[in-house]
Amino acid sequence: MGNNQNEDYGDKGLDFLEKKTGHTMSRDTNEKITDGARGLFEKATGYVFFSIFVVLASLAKRWEER
């Protein structure tokens, strides 16, 4: 995944889940999933999407440090 500079926490969290489960999807598919989740979250809560993927990224970092 050579385009890591454009990944946000959502993308990184999904990448982590893919690695841990052994599933892989294309970058376009990942973007559609994270963009869709972000939109649903913002629509449902009125909050800018950030917190759930910050948590996922934090968990991913802790897991990798083990």
**pLDDT (tens place) for every residue of the chain, 66 residues total:** 445 556 777 788 888 888 888 988 888 988 888 888 888 878 888 776 566 666 677 777 777 776
Residue type for position 56: L
Q: How far, in Å, CA of 13 to CA of 61, rounded?
A: 9
pLDDT of the residue at 2? 47
Q: How many residues can be counted in the chain? A: 66
Domain enclosing residue 11, as ranges: 4-65
Q: What is the pLDDT of residue 1?
A: 43
Structurally, the chain folds into a number of domains equal to 1
Instruction: State the pLDDT at residue 41.
Output: 77
